Structure 1
Amino acid sequence: MEKRQAEQEIAALRKQIAYHNQRYYVEDNPEIDDYEYDMLYLRLQNLEAQYPELVTEDSPTQKIGGPAVNTFAPVVHEVPMESLHDSFSEEEMLDFDRKVREAVQDPLYVVEPKFDGLSVSLEYRDGEFVRGSTRGDGLVGEDVTENLRTIRTVPKRLKTQLPFIEVRGEVYMSHQSFLELCERQELNDEKPFKNPRNAAAGSLRQKDSRITASRKLDIFVFNIQQASGADFGSHAESLQFLQELGFTVSPHYSLCRTIDEALEQIRQIGELRGKLDYSIDGAVVKVNDFAQRELLGSTAKFPRWAEAFKYPPEEKETTLLDIEINVGRTGVLTPTGIFEPVELAGTTVSRATLHNEDFIKEKDIRVGSVVILRKAGEIIPEVVSVLRHGTDSVPFVMPDRCPSCGAPVKREEGEAALRCMNPECPAQLLRHLIHFASRDAMDIDGLGPAVLEQLLNKGLLSSAADLYTLTLEQLVELERMGEKSSQNLIHAIEKTKQNDLYRLIFALGIPHIGLKAAKLLAMTFRSMEGLLAATAEEIAAIDGIGGIMAESLRDSLKQENTHKLIERMKAVGVNMETQLTIEDGRFRGKIFVLTGTLPNLSRKEAAALIEKLGGKVSASVSKKTDYVVAGEEAGSKLTKANQLGIQILTESELLTLAEE
C-alpha cells in the first residue's frame, strides 16, 4: 500500500474508532460487537506500525479507554489505570513471552480471566471505603462513590485496617441479573441494554444511586494500585492479601511457570465461556514478580509486563427451519428464527431473535437459508450472515395483523418495529396493567407487578377495567395478600375513580402520549367525550402536540377495543372529565428547561409549577428556549444556554418570577 492510501485509511479508521468509542464509553450503547471493534483497532495499529511518521498524539492508539463524561465530579488517578495490549493468537502470546525474557530471567506468569465490565478504582483510608471512580481515559475518571456503595461485594470496611490502599476491579452484571433487567425494561417500554457490560456501565453512572442498587451489580478486584502499611513482592501474594481484606478476586487465576503452561490455562479459561454467570472476553497474562515489572516498565499506553489474549467470537453454521412471530409485552412483533440445533459457547442453540423487518431484509434471511450464528455478549444468539439460500426459498414477509389478537399492526415513523395497536391484546396485557397502575398514571398503591401477574395467572383480569370488579374474596386467595392488604388494595382502586381525566389518558398507554401531552389534551378538550370527537388536525393544532403524536392518538382511539375499554371504565364510575386549569397564564408561551439538582424542588415539582402557570417544560435547549433553570452539577444544557445567550434562573429566581 502506498503512503497516501495508508494516510487516507488511517484517517477513516480514526474517525470510525472515535465514533464507536463515544457509543461504547460515553453512551453505553455500542453499534458493533467487541470483535469488530478490535479488528478496526488492530488494522489501525498495523498501519501506524508500517508508517510510524503518521502516528499522532490524538490517535485512538495513543489513548487509554474513553473520556470521563460530565455527569459526575472528575477524579485524577494518582496511579494511571492503564489498558492492556491485545493479542489474538498463540503466536502473538509467544512473541510477548520472548520480549519479556529478553528483559528478565525466568519469569513466572499469573493468568486470570479478562472480565467484560467497567473498570473502577476503590480507595480506603484507615480501612474505610472513602472514594470510588471509573477509569475514564486512564488519567481522569468519574467519582461514582455513592453508586459503588450499593454493590454488596464492595467492602465498606476492610478486615485489616491500613492507612491507605487503592485497588482496581471490574464492575459487572451477572447474566441472570441482565436478563431480569431486560425483562423489566421491556415491560416499561424502554430500550433494553445490548449486553451485560453496557448494562453495568449504564447502571453505575446513574444519578440516582437507588437505581444502581436495584440493578444487582457485582465486582471482581484484581490489582493493588498503591498501598501504605503493606508490601508485596508478587502479584499472587497481592491477590491472596486482597482476599484476606474481604475483596472478591477471580476464582480462576493460576500461577504458571512457562508460557506453555500459560497458554494451556488460557485454553481452559476459554472453555468456561458460556458456563459462567458473567461475561469474559479473554484472559490476561501478567508477570508475577513486581521487581521484574519495574524492569519491564510501560509504553505510553500499555504495561510491557502484561498481555490480554482476546477470544474470537465462536461462530457456527446452521440452517433456518422456520420464522415465528412473537408479540412482546409492548406490542412489538418480533420475528424469531428456529434453527437446526448447534453447540455454541457452551450451550445448545436452536432459536435466535431476528430483531425486525429491516434486519431480515438487510441480510436477506429466508426460511431454508444456511446462516452463521454466534452469541452476542456470550448470552444472546444472533445471525451474523447468510451463506446461501435453500432451493425455492422466497423473501420473508411480516404479517399485517397481530398473531395474538388479530388487530391491525402498524410501523410508526422512526421505528423499525411493527406494533400491535390493541390496548387489550393478551400478549401485552401485563405491561399495560403495570403502566395503568403506575404512579404517574392511575397511581394504584399496592398493585405491583407481582400482584398483577398472580391476578393474570388466575384468569381474573382480561383488561384494566376488570380491576374495578375485583372482590375481597378473590384478593385474599393471592400469595402474600391477607385480608388487610386486600382491603387496602380495593380501597386504592376505588379511590382512582376520582382521578383527573389526564391520568386516565396517560394510563391508556398510547404510544408517544406522555404525561405532559395527556395534560394538554385534557385541558384542551375537557372530557373524554370531547377527546374522542376531536380530529387529528384539531389535536395536532395544540402547542406541544406534534403530528406523529396526533396520528398515534387518533389511531389508538379509533380502535374498537379502545372504545370498549373506555366505555367499561365509564360504566364502573371512572371520572371522564378534567379539573385542570391554568391559574393565571403568566408563563404562557414561555419555554423552560430544567438542568442540574435544585436545592429544594424536585424536577417534577418545578415542572408542575411552570405548567400550572401556563409555561412549557422542554427536555432540550434551543433558540426557542426562554429560560434555563439551573441547579448543582448542571452540565451541557447550561453550557449551551450560555452560548445561545438564554437567561439562566436559580430556583429562588424561578419562585420569585412565579410570585410576581
Structure 2
Amino acid sequence: MLTSTQTELLQQADIQPKFLPENKLQYLIQQPEAVSELNDDELLELLAICNALYRGGEPIVSDAVYDFLFLAELKKRHPDHPYLHQVEAEPAFAGKTVKLPVTMLSTDKAYHFEEIKRWAKRVEKAAEKIGKDFDQLIFRVTPKLDGYAAYDDGKKLYTRGDGRYGQDISRVFERGLVVANNGQRGLGAGEIVVNKHYFNQHLAKIYDNSRNFQASIIKEKKLDPHALKAIEDKAAVFYPFALLPAWEGPWKTLAEHFDEIVNDVWHSVDYDVDGVILEVTDAEIKRIMGATRHHHRWQIAYKANTETAEVKVLKVIPQTSRSGRITPVAELEPVRLSGALLSRATAHHYKMVKEKGIGPGAIIRLTRSGEVIPKIEAVIKPVTPEIPSHCPSCGTELVWDNDYLVCTNNLECPAQITHTMEHFFKVLKNNDGFGPATIKKLYEHGIKNVYDIYQLNAEQFEAMGFGPKQSQNLVDELVRSRIEPVEDWRFLAAFGVFRMGLGNCEKLLAHYPLESIFELTEADIVAVEGFAEKTAHIVIKGFKRIRPLFEKLYALGFNIESTTHDTRQTQNHPLSGKTVVFTGTMQHGSRDAMKKEAKSFGAKVASSVTGKTDYLVIGEKVGQTKLDAAREKGITIMTEQEYLDLIKQ
C-alpha cells in the first residue's frame, strides 16, 4: 500500500485517484503485464501516479516497466495522445510557480543501437537539406544523470516543473549546495545528484534510494542532519550538463566503437547514471531539426542498464490472470538494484519454474536490462519447485497449455468473470457498448454472467450509474445481438471453452449440429480432423461446465445460422476441398459473406497465401504482396467474375 509520504506526494501533485483503488495499484506493481487489462482512464491515472512518485523520489516501478509496459500501452492505443507529447512534470512544492528562463524539455529514449542508427539517419537528412557534410559533423556523448532536474540562471535555481513553469528552489544553494567540479553558478540546465559511493556508505540505510534523498534536499524546510552533512561534505551537488565529461567525434567513429564509448562515458562519473545522452553539436543542424513539445529532435538518450544481483527466493506465489493463465510471482529477499528496492519478480510461466527449479531457497540472478525489469536472468542454485495443481482463485484443477498452466473454469473463476463476459460480446460481434468499462461497472453491481446482462432493462442500467440515453442504447444492443444473424460456431466460441476457439468450433459444427454438442462423446470429437484425445477430454469437460448458461441463453431466441452441411451435396462442387483466399474489395458482397458462401460449398478459406492455397480471388484495390506470393507459388489467380462463374458450375 502507499506510504504516507507517497500519499502526500500525490496530494502535492493534485492527483486524487478516481479509477485505481490502492489494491488494484498494488496488483499492477506486482504484475505490470496486467496493464493491458486497464481502460484508458485507469491507464492515464496509473501513468500520472507513477510519474509523480518517481519525480518525488518515491518510485513504485522501474524506469523500464514505466517506459516499456505502461507508457508503451498508451502509445499502442493512442500514438498521438497529448500525454505522450508533454514534459513529465517534476513534483510541486510549497510556493508559486514561475516561468523558466528557457524551456526545459524531456529527452527521447532508445534502448537499442538500431534506434540510435535511425536517429542518426534523421540527422543526416537534416544535413543534406542545408548542404552540410554528415561525415564532418561532431557528435557529443555525455552521461545521463539520474538526479533531480533543475535550471541555474546565476541568480535563481528553478525546478523543471512542466518544462515551461517551475518553482524557485534557490534555498538549496543557501543551504550550502555547491556546483560540481568547483564550477561557477549560471551554467544553465543540470541535475541535483549525490555521490554514489557516499550514498551507499552513509545514506542507504536512511533513504530508500538516491532520488528520495535528492527530493528531501529540496522540499524539507529543515534539513535532516544526514542530508546537511552530505551537502557539507560536497557529496550532494548541482551538476550542470555543461560540465559533464564527454566524448566527441564523427558518427563513423561513434558507430564503430559504440559499446566501448557508451561504457566509458557511462562510468565517467561517480553518480547514478541511467544512460547516456547523444547529440549533434552543430547549431544550424539543431535549428533545422527543432523540437517537439516533448523533446529536442537533435538529441536522444540511450538506456541499456545491465546491472545484476544474486538473490534468494522466499516463495513462488501463483496468481490467476483475467485470461485464466496462472502467473508465477517470485517473492525475494529485498535487494537494491539500479537504485530500486526489489522484492518480487515475475517468472513468466510455470514451465520456466519447472525446468529451471525456481522455488523457496533457490538463488537467482536478477537483471534490470532492456524491456522487462526485473528479469530472472539465470538460476544459480535450483531447487525442487512447487507446481500448483489447482487454481488459486477458484480451486479448479489446472491443465497445461504449452508453457502455461491454465484454469479452464472461465465462467465461475472470480479472476476471470469480467474477461469472460467481455469475451462473449466481443466474439459475438453483432453488438456495441459492452467493452471493458461497461462490463466492469456491471460486475461491481453484482452482475456475474452474460444471462443476467440480458435480463436488465433501461431502468436497471440507470440505477447502476449509466446515463438514460446510454442505458437505452445498451438495451437496444442486447436486442440487436439476438435479432441479427450469427453463425453457430461464433455463438459457441463466445462461451470461451478452453481449446474451442473460432476455428475449432467451426470444424466441429461442420460435422455436428449445435443442438447436439452436449451429447457428444470423446470418440465423436476425435473423429473430427484436428482433434486429439487429450483435447477431446478437455472439451467435453468444458461443454459440461457451460451447459446451464448455454441453454438459458439459447432459449432467448438468438438468430443462429447453422454450419452443418451435407457433404454428399458439396463433394462434387469445384470448390470442395479447395483452399481459397479472398483479397481486395468485392462487388458480389462483403468478403465475410463470400467466405461463408465458399465454406458452404466445402471450401477451406484462409487469410494468407501459402503453398497449400488453390485459388486467390481478387477484387478491386488488391495488395501487391498477395499477388506476388501467388505468382511465385504458381497459385491460380482469378477475378471476382471468374470465381462467380466457377461456383455456378
TM-score normalized by the length of structure 1: 0.54
SS in 2 for 1:326: strand
What's the secondary structure of 2:392's corresponding residue? coil
TM superposition shift of 1:367: 0.4
**Other-structure match for 2:491:** 504
The unaligned stretches of length 5 or more in structure 2 are 1-28, 40-63, 86-106, 109-118, 141-163, 165-188, 192-239, 249-263, 286-298
Question: The residue matched to 2:415 in structure 1 has which SS?
Answer: helix
Q: Is the 8 A contact 2:445 2:464 kept in 1?
A: no
TM superposition shift of 1:451: 0.6
The separation in 2 between residues aligned to 1:227 and 1:369, in whole angstroms, is 55
What is the Cα deviation at residue 637 of structure 1?
Answer: 5.2
Q: Secondary structure at the match of 1:454?
A: helix
Aligned equivalent of 1:488: 473
1:469 to 443, 446, 455: 455
1:434 aligns with 2:334: no
Q: Report the alpha carbon displacement of residue 489 of structure 1 after superposing the two structures with TM.
A: 1.4
Cα offset, 1:444, TM superposition: 3.3
Alignment of 1:295-444 (within 5 A): 311-377=304-370, 379-388=372-381, 394-412=383-401, 415-424=402-411, 425-438=413-426, 440-441=427-428, 443-444=430-431
Take 2:475 and 2:522, find their aligned partners in 1: how far apart are those partners?
37
Q: What does 1:633-652 align with in structure 2 at a 5 Å threshold?
A: 634=623, 638-652=627-641
Equivalence for 2:126: 226
1:607 counterpart (595, 602, 610):
595
8 Å CA contact 2:65–2:371 kept in 1: the answer is: no
Letter in 2 for 1:647: T
Confirm or deny that 1:183 pairs with 2:83: no
- Please tell me whether the aligned partners of residues 266 and 273 of structure 2 are also in contact (alpha carbons under 8 angstroms): no
Shift of residue 326, structure 1, vs aligned partner: 0.5
Amino acid at match of 1:368: G
Q: CA 1:651 to 1:380, structure 2 compared with 1: closer, same or farther past 3 Å?
A: farther
For residues 9-65 of structure 1, what are the alpha-carbon distances to aligned partners after superposition, in whole Å with 9 as ceiling and x for unaligned?
xxxxxxxxxxxxxxxxxxxxxxxxxxxxxxxxxxxxxxxxxxxxxxxxxxxxxxxxx
Match of 2:434 in 1: 447
Paired AA for residue 345 in structure 2 = A
How far has the Cα of 1:267 moved from its partner? 6.4
- Check 1:509–1:216 CA distance in 2 against 1; reply closer, same or farther (3 A cut): farther
Q: What SS does the corresponding residue of 2:358 show, helix, strand or coil?
A: coil
Distance 1:307-1:266 versus aligned 2 partners, 3 A rule? farther
> What secondary structure is seen at the aligned counterpart in 2 of 1:411?
strand
How many angstroms does 1:526 deviate by? 2.2
Is residue 195–residue 376 contact of structure 1 (8 Å, CA) maintained in 2?
A: no
CA distance change for structure 1 residues 626 and 287 in 2, over 3 Å: closer, same or farther?
closer
Residue type at the aligned position of 1:354: A
Contact 2:497 2:539 (C-alpha < 8 Å) held by counterparts: yes
How far has the Cα of 1:310 moved from its partner? 6.7
Distance, in Å, in 1 between the alignment partners of 2:580 and 2:83 is 36
- Identical columns (%): 27
CA distance, structure 2, for counterparts of residue 493 and residue 554 of structure 1: 33
Structure 2 letter corresponding to 1:472: A
Alignment deviations for residues 473-519 of structure 1 (CA, whole Å, 9 cap, x no partner): 4311334x222321221232244345543332010112343334434
Is 1:195–1:377's contact at 8 Å kept on the other side of the alignment? Answer: no
Distance 1:194 1:640 in 2: 40
List per-residue Cα deviations over 1:257-297 (Å, max 9, x = no partner): 78458877876899464xxxxxxxx42545624899xxxxx
Give the CA deviation at 1:370: 2.5
Give the drift of 1:617: 0.8
Amino acid across the alignment from 1:435 = H
Q: 1:642 to 1:371 in 2, by over 3 A?
A: same
- In structure 2, the CA distance between the partners of 1:203 and 1:321, relative to structure 1 (3 Å rule), is closer
Correspondent of 1:478 among 464, 470, 476: 464
Count of aligned pairs between the two proteins? 428
Q: Which amino acid aligns with 2:464?
A: L
Q: 1:580 to 1:547 in 2, by over 3 A?
A: closer
**What's the CA shift for 1:449?**
0.9
Cα-to-partner distance string for 1:169-204 (whole Å, 9 max, x where unaligned): xxxxxx9xx96764379xxxxxxx999679999999
- The one-letter code sitting in structure 2 at the alignment partner of 1:477 is A
Match of 2:520 among 529, 534, 541: 534
Tell me what 1:147 maps to.
none
Q: For residue 565 of structure 1, what is the aligned residue in structure 2?
A: 549
Max Rg structure: 2
Q: How does the TM-score come out when normalised to structure 2?
A: 0.55
Residue 434 of structure 1: SS of its match in structure 2? helix
Q: CA–CA distance in 1 between the matches of 2:363 and 2:434? A: 47
Q: In the superposition, relative to structure 1, how do residues 290 and 605 fare at CA in structure 2: closer, same or farther (>3 Å)?
A: farther
Q: Which runs of 5+ in 1 are unaligned?
A: 1-174, 186-192, 238-247, 274-281, 293-305
Q: Distance in 2 between matches of 1:611 and 1:483?
A: 43
Q: Deviations over 1:607-659 (max 9, x none)?
A: 23422443211245455432123565646654453344221223443344345
Q: Is the 8 A contact 1:526 1:578 kept in 2?
A: no
One-letter amino acid of the counterpart of residue 315, structure 2: D
Conserved? CA contact 1:374–1:382, under 8 Å: yes
Cα gap change, 1:435/1:213 in structure 2, threshold over 3 Å: closer, same or farther?
A: farther
**Does the 8 Å contact 1:333/1:419 carry over to 2?**
yes
Does the 8 Å CA contact 1:375/1:381 hold for their aligned counterparts?
A: yes
How far 1:313 moved relative to its partner? 0.9
Aligned position for 2:505: 518
Over aligned residue pairs, what C-alpha RMSD do you find?
4.8
Q: How has the CA–CA distance of structure 1 residues 368 and 442 changed in structure 2, closer, same or farther, with 3 Å as cutoff?
A: same
Q: CA deviation at 1:578?
A: 4.2
In the alignment, does 2:585 pair up with 1:592? no
Letter in 2 for 1:486: S
CA distance in 2, matches of 1:625, 1:215: 45
Pair 1:657–1:521, CA change in 2 (3 A): same
- Pick closer, same or farther for the CA change 1:215–1:574 going to 2, 3 Å: farther
Instruction: Give 1:427 deviation, angstroms.
Output: 1.1
Amino acid at match of 1:419: V
Q: d(CA) in 2 for partners of 1:202 and 1:455?
A: 25
Are 2:539 and 1:556 aligned?
yes
Q: Within 2, Cα distance between the matches of 1:183 and 1:327? A: 13
Deviations 1:563-620 (A, max 9, x none): 33224434x525496444669744222211345x446676534423422443211245
Q: Residues 620, 194 of structure 1: CA spacing in aligned structure 2 closer, same or farther, 3 A cutoff? A: farther
Q: Give the distance between the partners of 1:359 and 1:316, measured in 2 at CA.
A: 19
The answer to whether the 8 Å contact 2:585/2:622 transfers is no
- CA gap of 1:194–1:346, structure 2 versus 1, over 3 A, is closer
CA 423–287 in structure 1, closer or farther in 2 if over 3 Å, else same: closer
Distance 2:317 2:246 in 1: 47
What is the aligned partner in structure 1 of residue 12 from structure 2? none
Rounded to whole Å, the distance in 2 between the matches of 1:573 and 1:552 is 30
Q: Kindly provide the CA deviation profile for residues 370-401 of structure 1, in whole angstroms up to 9, marking residues without a partner as x.
A: 22212353553221123336xxxx51131222
**What is the letter of the counterpart of residue 387 of structure 1?**
I
Q: Contact 1:592–1:626 (CA<8 Å) still a contact in 2?
A: yes
**Counterpart Cα distance in 2 of 1:619 and 1:216:** 36
- Whole-angstrom CA distance in 1 between matches of 2:81 and 2:450: 27
